[in-house]
Amino acid sequence: MNTKIPKALKIILRQPRKVLTILLPLSLFAMGWWFGLPPEKPKQEVTDGKSEQIWTCSMHPQIRQPNSGLCPICEMDLIPLQDSGGGGIREVSVSSEAAALLNLQVSPVIRSAAVADVSLFGRIAYDERSISTSTSRIGGRIDRLFVDFTGAMVRKGDHLAEIYSPEIYVAQREVIEATKAIRNQSANSSGPVRQTRLRLLNAAREKLRLLQLSEEQIDGIASQKNPSDRITISSPQDGIVVGKSVNLGSYVKTGDPLFKVADLSKVWLVLEAYESDLPWLRYAQDVAFTIEALPGEEFHGRIAFIDPNINPLTRVTEVRVNVGNQGRKLKPGMFVRARVESRMTNGGKVVDPSLEGKWISPMHPEIVKDAPGECDICGMPLVPAAELGFIADTDQKSSLPLLVPASAVLQTGERAVVYIRIPEKAAPTFEGREIVLGPKVGQQFIVENGLGEGELVVSQGAFKLDSELQIKAKPSMMNPNAGLAEAPANSAPEDLAGQWAPVLRSLARLQNASEPVSAKEAITGMERAIKAVDQSTFQPDTLKLWNEFSNRLINGLRISDRQLPKDVPQSARIATRSVEEAGRYLGLPSRTEVPSKVDPALAGALEKIIKAYLPLSKALADDAPGKAQAAAREFSEASGRISLTKDAKFLQEKASELAEKSDIKEQRELFQNISNKLISLVRSYGLDQVGSAYVVHCPMVADGKGGDWISNVPEVLNPYFGDTMLNCGSVTATLSLGEKPPMKKMEGMEKHNHGK
């Protein structure tokens, strides 16, 4: 069978190498082109048509709807909610692979007792209270020394020295002669004579008593026939002679010191503590210590005194510990290594749970008993350990401080920054946050403000995350305001600006404070006003800025509070800087007029009027004209109790007129007059003094002219439209905060549509 071979194939068979040289590059190019094509995208699953986009109203940001449409309050078109990612302005996200390469590790913020071991050094010293000095009560010459060197052990009554003195000879002669006169007097001696001789004898014996002779010694002298010209000095107590001021043959005058005798059954431990150790030390605290000369033994004592002065050269202060010295093992001058275990509460108070139910001597802390009584040393009444501050608060959990690893904290000056893990995000996402630190406890810091229990802080790799923010020109540790645009003055949203005034009023009070007490009250008022701000209606961008700067504000106030009571002006400057910084970036004012002094009686009357006003407002919001008439009558009666005659008359007349109206439209017109007057009175005479009082504004009242009313919570229940537009309006001012920050419930808020 003959098969005809194509001519092209014959050429390939004759010259295969040449053909392969041409075809091989073409084949490789075709293969590279094929594999370099992008993979075909998988087809997306068909959804049920619902979108994850949230829609809101530009006038009523509390509205959240899953679909577009009209606002249920004002019927404006809803707009997409701009979500810039959640978290905060310091947020940074990394991939799981990057987190592993960066070796990021997190640790939970824990609430636990802050236990610190404070190591101190010191020496054993004599207890100054147990040193007795023997002095010469008569002039003379040291004729004999029974103790002629320091360090000798003596007991009470042992002879120390013998003094030759002509004066003692005369004193003894008087006793001997007076005793003989009484002994030899006849039975016929008269009464006055007997009394005179007895007085002479008592006077002579008293002279010897004043020379520190005991009754036994005086009786011995009285029984002698001839007086002696020498007197013996005895030891006043058991102990060791630690001082000898005379030698054999020395002449002494009355009052000259002779010997010092120290009782070593109790000694002092004198420790040196640095300034950083002082927060952990306090009176009556147990101290454990060891001595190299006595290996294997541990001794204990209690702190009795902390020197209030710091040595300007060594920068240390002395801490004195009372120690019992059974067996006289502890010798003055011994070198000591001491350890103090301290437990600190949330308020920075050192406590000792072992002293619960105990009673302590206020002068001698080593005296601790289970029941009330008297101190065995000084006889003072014992006091409960709780009165000395050794027992934590009743709520043990709240008294424990928050602790974070020291490695998690980035510090620069007075500022401290940590990074926390945002658990809601799938990818590893972290947020920087400024906090206020307390003392350092070993390898941990106490956190005074800025974190909550259970939050996860980056304990390793925080500086790497901070560097990432610096590269992205976002706020970081070194530049907290990087990338933030300063807002124009007074451009903050109404829902934030309306709650800002109490902060400024408290700041004005702080700036004008002259005493630490009033400054402390102003700082407390500022912090309370900041925490009372209702954030439920904030847009995401506003919420992020507020979370950042409100935290900075509170941190600044905590630092400001630390300046009290030593420097009130500096405290005010720190708080002012914090408020000015927040105002620049939030568009809030940083200054206000100084609040005028409020008459407590007038403020109290206004508070009662507001309480009578609120039922009237609620009745109109509920579209209940009958209830509004009844509430107006009670309001009219309450209005007459204020001392402002003209204003009281105005409120009474308008309320009485409202009570006569049955048409709710006419009632609402009169209600607006009442509201305007009452708001004006509170601004003039009751700012921050009438409980909870917020000004709420609705721009659609009076054909678009707007209308205000007072609410005791920062929420909108519109009395001018009732059910038609119940939630139309916004809080525009805070006149006063109540005892507790108000809480606004957003969940379950009813939605009302306009009437057609």
For residue range 75-87, list pLDDT tens digits in order.
788 887 654 444 5
The CATH number linked to 434 is 2.40.420.20
Decide which of 285 and 26 is more confident.
Answer: 285
- Rounded to the nearest angstrom, the gap between the alpha carbon of residue 234 and the centroid of all alpha carbons in its chain is 58
- Rounded to the nearest angstrom, the gap between the alpha carbon of residue 143 and the centroid of all alpha carbons in its chain is 68
Residue type, 403: L
In angstroms, the CA 374 to CA 514 distance is 44
- Does residue 359 sit in helix, strand or coil? strand
- Confidence check: pLDDT of 67 > 50: yes
Report yes or no on 29 lying in a domain.
Answer: no
**Mean of pLDDT over the chain:** 83
Decide which of 184 and 266 is more confident.
Answer: 266
Q: Which H or E element spans position 532?
A: none
Q: At which residue do the structure tokens 């401290």 appear?
A: 416
* Cβ 369 vs Cβ 383: under 8 Å: no
Task: Quickly state the pLDDT bin for 41 (edges 50, 70, 90).
Answer: very low
Phi, psi of 23 (to 5 degrees): -75, -30
pLDDT at 59: 66
Mean pLDDT in residue range 654-677: 94
User: Do 664 and 714 belong to one domain?
Assistant: yes
| Terminal alpha carbon distance of the chain | 99
Q: What angle do CA 656, 662, 663 make, to 5 degrees?
A: 115
Residue 663 burial class via C-beta count within 10 angstroms: exposed 0-12, middle 13-18, buried 19 and up: exposed
List, in sequence order, every beta strand (DSSP E) within 383-450: 383-384, 402-405, 410-412, 415-421, 429-441, 444-449
The CATH number linked to 287 is 2.40.30.170
Token output for 178: 């007076």
Q: Which residues lie closer than 8 Å to 743 by C-beta, 6 or more apart? A: 713
User: Do 281 and 368 belong to one domain?
Assistant: yes
Nearest to 141 by CA among 46, 289, 253, 44: 253
The CATH number linked to 551 is 1.20.120.10
Decide which of 89 and 271 is more confident.
Answer: 271
Q: Which residues lie closer than 8 Å to 623 by C-beta, 6 or more apart? A: 664, 722, 723
User: Do 345 and 375 belong to one domain?
Assistant: yes
- Does residue 234 sit in helix, strand or coil? strand
pLDDT at 206: 84
For residue 542, give its domain range.
Answer: 494-586
* Residue percentage of the chain with pLDDT more than 70: 88
Q: At which residue do the structure tokens 């990432």 appear?
A: 468
Report yes or no on 108 lying in a domain.
Answer: yes
pLDDT at 347: 65
- Confidence check: pLDDT of 50 > 60: no
- Confidence check: pLDDT of 136 > 90: no
User: Do 691 and 726 belong to one domain?
Assistant: yes
Rg of the Cα atoms in the chain? 44
Q: At which residue do the structure tokens 């619960």 appear?
A: 356
Token output for 186: 């006849």
Domain termination site, one of 66, 81, 96: 81
- Dihedral angle at the C-alpha atoms of 105, 111, 115, 116, nearest 10 degrees? 50
* Residue percentage of the chain with pLDDT more than 90: 36
In angstroms, the CA 573 to CA 590 distance is 13
For residue range 609-642, list pLDDT tens digits in order.
999 999 999 999 999 999 999 999 999 999 988 8
User: Do 718 and 627 belong to one domain?
Assistant: yes
* Cβ 255 vs Cβ 135: under 8 Å: yes
Decide which of 123 and 191 is more confident.
Answer: 123
Token output for 212: 């520190």
Report yes or no on 755 lying in a domain.
Answer: no
User: Do 671 and 564 belong to one domain?
Assistant: no
Report yes or no on 98 lying in a domain.
Answer: no
For residue range 405-453, list pLDDT tens digits in order.
999 999 987 789 999 998 888 788 999 998 888 888 888 898 888 898 9
User: Do 374 and 301 belong to one domain?
Assistant: yes
Report yes or no on 201 lying in a domain.
Answer: no
In angstroms, the CA 358 to CA 649 distance is 64
Q: At which residue do the structure tokens 């009470």 appear?
A: 156
Q: Which residues lie closer than 8 Å to 55 by C-beta, 6 or more apart? A: 64, 65, 66, 67, 68, 69, 78, 79, 80, 81
Task: Quickly state the pLDDT bin for 398 (edges 50, 70, 90).
Answer: low
Report yes or no on 434 lying in a domain.
Answer: yes
Nearest to 673 by CA among 626, 623, 721, 709: 709
* Cβ 710 vs Cβ 617: under 8 Å: yes
In angstroms, the CA 730 to CA 712 distance is 13
User: Do 615 and 722 belong to one domain?
Assistant: yes
Q: At which residue do the structure tokens 């799938």 appear?
A: 426
- Confidence check: pLDDT of 21 > 60: no
pLDDT at 456: 94
Report yes or no on 277 lying in a domain.
Answer: yes
- Confidence check: pLDDT of 37 > 60: no
User: Do 295 and 376 belong to one domain?
Assistant: yes
Decide which of 393 and 78 is more confident.
Answer: 78
Mean pLDDT in residue range 353-380: 85
Mean pLDDT in residue range 479-490: 86
User: Do 278 and 386 belong to one domain?
Assistant: yes
Q: Which residues lie closer than 8 Å to 600 by C-beta, 6 or more apart? A: 689
* Cβ 741 vs Cβ 550: under 8 Å: no
**Diameter of the chain by CA atoms?**
189
Mean pLDDT in residue range 230-249: 88
> How is 199-215 classified by DSSP, letter by letter?
HHHHHHHHHHHHTT--H
User: Do 382 and 407 belong to one domain?
Assistant: no
- Does residue 448 sit in helix, strand or coil? strand
User: Do 641 and 518 belong to one domain?
Assistant: no
Report yes or no on 487 lying in a domain.
Answer: no
> How is 659-711 classified by DSSP, letter by letter?
HH---HHHHHHHHHHHHHHHHHHHHHH-TT-SSSEEEEEETTHHHHT-EEEEE
Number of C-beta neighbours around residue 268 at 10 A: 23
pLDDT at 487: 87
Number of domains in the chain: 5
For residue range 518-544, list pLDDT tens digits in order.
999 999 999 999 988 888 888 888 888
